[in-house]
Amino acid sequence: MSSPRFTGFPDEALVFYEGLEADNSRTYWTGHRSEYETHVRAPMLALTEELTAEFGTPKLFRPYRDVRFSHDKTPYKTHQGAVLHRDGAGLGSLYVQVSADGLLVSGGCWRLQPDQVERYRRAVADDVQGPRLEREVTRLREAGFLIDGDQLVRAPRGHAMDHPRIGLLRHRSLYASQVWEPAEWLQERAALERVRGAWRQYAALNQWLDDNVGATTAAPDRRR
């Protein structure tokens, strides 16, 4: 049996998250669970399934927060996210998220292990690979994407603050993203085309990360 065709995120999805932001409790969640399943989870599944052939296997994140090490003990996430990663590919991934704030798309890497950070910085410092990444980051910025990621305040060890690519060298993760505020197109198939178009823009960034950083070589018990 084929998956349902994506027809957009209905307004009820955003209304559900507005309510959850106001009352992040089990009582609210239990009383509105069917709305989450129908208006949030089902459309996200349909969206990602339609994009699987081009972008890889999707994984929907659970709606429950991990509060074990957080001061914020609210139990539920106020957004629904999904990540896609092509089987056999290296590091780069793609992400989509819906919330009361609208739709967010991202591409790149959100967390690097120490061995990956070392390879990333070695590639950024390289006279061939470094400028390649710099040009791609500049292109994405000029296209309206936000470039973000965990960064050091100072220069990393072995590099000077006057390095021509010090901004990239300070990164410990790197991704591009774009946010669209709620609009009528979010309730239509046009949302799928927006996601597809943005993800295609991230292809070169993810390829650079795959080529130059790759998967971690750290032992499993050292990974978080």
Order of strands across the sheet with 146-148? 57-60, 79-85, 93-99, 102-109, 174-180, 146-148
Rounded Cα gap, residues 115 and 124, in angstroms: 14
CA dihedral for 129, 135, 137, 140, sign (positive or negative): negative
- Cβ contact 6:47 at 8 Å: yes
Express each pLDDT in 56-102 by its tens digit: 999 999 999 988 888 888 999 999 999 998 776 567 899 999 999 99
Backbone angles phi, psi at 45, to 5 degrees: -60, -45
Express each pLDDT in 97-138 by its tens digit: 999 999 999 999 999 999 999 999 999 999 999 999 999 999
Tell me the whole-structure pTM to 2 decimals.
Answer: 0.92
* Residue of 29, 47, 27 lying closest to 187 (CA atoms): 47
Grouping H, G, I as helix, E, B as strand and the rest as coil, residue 209 is helix
- At residue 3, the pLDDT reads 67
Beta bridge partners of 97: 81, 104
Q: How confident is the model at residue 221 (pLDDT cuts 50, 70, 90)?
A: very low
Mean pLDDT of 132-145: 98
Q: Which tokens belong to 174?
A: 């790197």
CATH for 11-214 (3.40.50.300, 3.40.50.1820, 1.10.287.70, 3.30.930.20): 3.30.930.20
- At residue 220, the pLDDT reads 58
Express each pLDDT in 162-220 by its tens digit: 999 999 999 999 999 999 999 999 999 999 999 999 999 999 999 999 999 988 887 75
The CA–CA distances, whole Å, from 6 to 49, 63, 97, 101, 124 equal 9, 20, 15, 20, 39
- At residue 89, the pLDDT reads 58
Q: How confident is the model at residue 224 (pLDDT cuts 50, 70, 90)?
A: very low
- At residue 70, the pLDDT reads 83
Q: How confident is the model at residue 12 (pLDDT cuts 50, 70, 90)?
A: very high
Q: How confident is the model at residue 2 (pLDDT cuts 50, 70, 90)?
A: low
The CA–CA distances, whole Å, from 218 to 8, 92, 120, 123 equal 41, 18, 15, 19
Indicate the domain borders of the chain: 11-214
